[in-house]
Amino acid sequence: MPSWHPRWCRVPVFLILWCLCSCLPSLQASLFGKRELPKLSSDELSVLVSGVPDPVDKLDPANPASHLSKILIPRAPDTENITLVRNYIVSTLKKLNWEIEEDEFTDDTPVGRKKFTNIIATKDPSASRRLLLAAHYDSKFFPNYPENQFVGATDSAAPCAMMLDIAETLDPLLNDRQKRLEKGLLEDDDEDIADMTLQLLFFDGEEAFHEWTDTDSIYGARHLAHKWANTYQSSLNKRRLLSSQETEISSIEHLILLDLLGAQNPLIRSYYPDTAWMFDALVDTEKRLGESGAFEHGKEKSMAAGNWRSWFVSRDKHRSGFGYIGDDHVPFLKKGVSVLHIIAEPFPRVWHTLRDDASALDLPTMRRWSLLLRVFLSEYLHLKPEVLGKREELQETEEQILPDSNSHTRYKKNGSEL
């Protein structure tokens, strides 16, 4: 795999800083800089590692009911197949009662005018701030057989399946945090994060139709970044008072973009100084999980405690800000959004070939990614994973008032008299 390709943009540090500083001040930059995330206990980590849903069930391409199997088909923009995939993603998230917006638009491409649809799923639309987790769900367009059977397993079916797994895993924890907020039970250190929600963003049209250029690539991201930068928020739907100049894009605290993941032994680098602390937090999460033995899966012993190797390139060995890889985050970066780009570099050897199919994926690797993201996002959002493990116990001990038609006697849930 060559080290240089169209998506690599080697930009001088001063130019990147000038670009960022010239953007209007963003809410995420004003509220949070580097900060320490509350670390989950070993018991809480165990809940996320062994809890329901099992990431293997959701990410196994050999399981026809898995999220990955539903996505792992040719799905170029404006085709029947991408509609099938979009409907599956939307229906999965609607079952969790997330608010869904299908952002439809048309644009000119080198092969004619095409329709695109971004999928935006928001856990709590009333929250004033958002942490975005994103990936593209389209596969690259090829005009002729057999290349038009390209399924883009690492690019980016696996990341999309991981996002659905994350949504299902964290949904009850987000519900619990919302209940604690409504009852005034949040701890003092939760106040900063109480008005932030998780938003999932599935971009359409990331791939170029011919060659990667500024106009033939990231169609969905370019459209949505422009739209959100020119859409002002309604203070009636927000819990906090907003300035009249606050746009949808200014409510993004960070954008975490996943791409080219799922193959064995990826190398992940830190590209931006303002999210270096998030990169370091991921490294710390990986270390704690790896040392606990959480990465070991089945007969796979290379990830066992004492054997596993880090996927993250030390920031001492990689100059952050030297350049970036062109991807869906760039239009948001140019508008001042803080970005953590999680992408394998060098790219998988199968990149943009028919070999980027199920055989390119490694199930223990995908499971490890899911566990890393479960823990990192839980700590970022101040979630309480013990809710997953103790839900039945809490339900058993919770008192429920049952009206009796013949008396005023009150009963506990288990039926004993109060």
Is residue 168 among the annotated active site residues? no
Q: What is d(CA 51, CA 37) in angstroms, rounded to the nearest whole number?
A: 22
Look at residue 242 and give its three-state secondary structure.
coil
Structure tokens at 65: 């009911």
How large is the greatest C-alpha to C-alpha distance in the chain, in angstroms? 80
Q: Which residues 6+ apart lie within 8 Å of 66 measured at CB?
A: 57, 58, 59, 60, 161
Is residue 191 among the annotated active site residues? no
Identify each DSSP E strand in 34-145 by its residue range.
Answer: 99-109, 112-122, 129-136
- Residue tagged active-site, from 44, 168, 206, 357: 206
- Residue tagged active-site, from 259, 296, 328, 379: 259
Kindly tell me the sign of the dihedral angle through the C-alpha atoms of 187, 189, 190, 192.
positive
Q: Which of 68, 267, 92 is nearest to 151 (CA)?
A: 68
Q: What is d(CA 234, CA 20) in angstroms, rounded to the nearest whole number?
A: 26
Counts of helices then strands in the chain (DSSP H, E):
12, 8
Q: Which residues are catalytic?
A: 206, 259
